[in-house]
Structures are given as structure tokens and as C-alpha cells.
Amino acid sequence: MNLMYFLYLLFFLNQVIAIQVFSSRIVSSTSKRVASTNSIYNIFSIFVTVISSIQIPLLASLVEKRRFINADDVSTYFHIILLFSLLGAILGAILIPNTQRLMTKLVYKLDHNETLLVLLVKNINIKNILLIFKHVYLPQKENFSRILNFKSINYNQIFINVVAYAITTGTTLACLYAGFLKPEFRVICLSLSSVVNGFGIFLMMLIIEPYNAVLTDRVINGEITHGFFRKHLTLVIMARIIGIFLSQLFLIPTSKIIVKIAELI
């Protein structure tokens, strides 16, 4: 039971940290120091990689050892995991303005330090940590009111974001659940995870990320306003949250489709 709670925490923290990538986009556009900002974001990326490498093997171990009575127990457990992922994404979105301010300070301080290690060693202490918590603010109202202006919004990009995040969030869980439903095909079901996830990653790497990168460059060059860029990122964040929510709804149907594909193979 304690391992279950630990997994809930891992999936929650994974989304809280992963969504901070949008903070780096904002900092890149305001500071005009794209390379330095990316190096700062690598700290967050390391945490996401470590958490992801831990949570899936632990989850697979639970399913493999059959610690659940029936399929309904497993599906409930997976739905709770996705719920914690959703809550993590929402909290992460709320924390983005605070992460943005922190990353901005770190980017400018990086000029006076040779490496990230030196920067962190100099600045990580109890006083600074307490200072961070003291200056935590909720997003301002204009961050939400600006999205009501739908002019010039690329709706295709927003839709693709919803699809991509729905796929990358729920596919691995769906494949694990499919393997539970059909134990004799569990290896095939799990291997299909990389195929389906690959489509989501394809959308991100070839469509979503290049578009966000181009917008970042256009903001820096003065071709579009910071207001428009922030509005776009706000909608993308909402698309990510919607995608995670949809992964809840499609968990069971996707698992059954994966089982059918495994049987055909």
C-alpha cells in the first residue's frame, strides 16, 4: 500500500516539474538568453527523467506480481494515478509564474558563475529556499482574461497539443493494463507502448516544439508581442491539462484496442 502512495507522488511530481518547460519559453523570450535558459531548464529535465525511469518499472512490478484482486481494482488504481497526474499538471500550471521569476534570476546569475554546479552550490541554502516560498504568488487575472481574445490563435496547434499529451500520458498505463487483461500477451502489449508513444513524440518533436521555438524567436525579434506569446502558451498549458484528462476517459478503450492488436500480431 505504501508503494502505491509513493507511485501517486511520483506521477504527481512528474507533471508538476514537466510542465515548467513553459516557464523556460517565457524566460527565453524576455531575457533573450535562449541557451542559458535551456541550460537552467536542464535541471528540471533531469528530475523528470529520473522520476520517469523509476515510476514505470515500479508500476509494472505491481501489475506483474498481481497485488490486485481483479481487473476493476487495477483500472481504479490506474485512474487514480492519472488523477494525480492531472492534479500535478494543474498545480504545475499555477506555479509557472513563480518558476519563471526564479529561472530569470538564475539565468542572469549564470553570467557570474562558471557552471550550473557552482551556481547551485552558492545559492541553495535555507535562507533562499524560505525566500522562494515567501514570494509564491498565484497567476494574475490578466493571464486568464487574455485568452478570451481568440484572434490569431492557431487552433490546429492547440488541438495537436491535446492529442499529443493525451497519448504520451496514458499510453504506457493502457499498455500495462492491456498486459494485465491478457497476461499471455503482456510482453507484446508493453512493447506496443513505444509504438503508440512514438506517435505522440512525433507530434511533439516535428510539429509542436518547432512551432513554439519559432514563436520564441519571433518574440525576441519583435515580430510578435509578448502578450500574444503568453496567450499561446496559456492555451497550450490548458491543452496539456485537457489531454491528461482525456487519457482518463480513453484508458480502458485504448487498453482493449491494444489487446486486439496484440492478438493479431
Q: What is the pLDDT of residue 90?
A: 93
Residue 55 contacts residue 11 (beta carbons within 8 Å): yes
192 Cβ neighbours under 8 A, 6+ residues apart? 175, 178, 258, 261, 262
Q: What is the pLDDT of residue 130?
A: 59
- What interhelical angle do 2-18 and 34-64 show, nearest 10? 160
Q: Which residues of the chain have pLDDT under 50?
A: none
Check residue 182 and report its DSSP letter: -
Rounded to the nearest angstrom, the gap between the alpha carbon of residue 78 and the centroid of all alpha carbons in its chain is 17
Residue 141 contacts residue 234 (beta carbons within 8 Å): no
Q: The whole model's pTM is what?
A: 0.85
- pLDDT cut 70: percent of the chain above it: 82
Q: What is the pLDDT of residue 190?
A: 83
Distance CA 93, CA 136 (A): 13
DSSP SS3 for 149: coil
Q: What is the pLDDT of residue 192?
A: 86
For 105-139, how does the pLDDT look when each residue is reduced to its tens digit (9 = 90+)? 888 877 776 676 676 666 666 665 655 566 566 66
Residue 193 contacts residue 172 (beta carbons within 8 Å): yes
DSSP SS3 for 1: coil
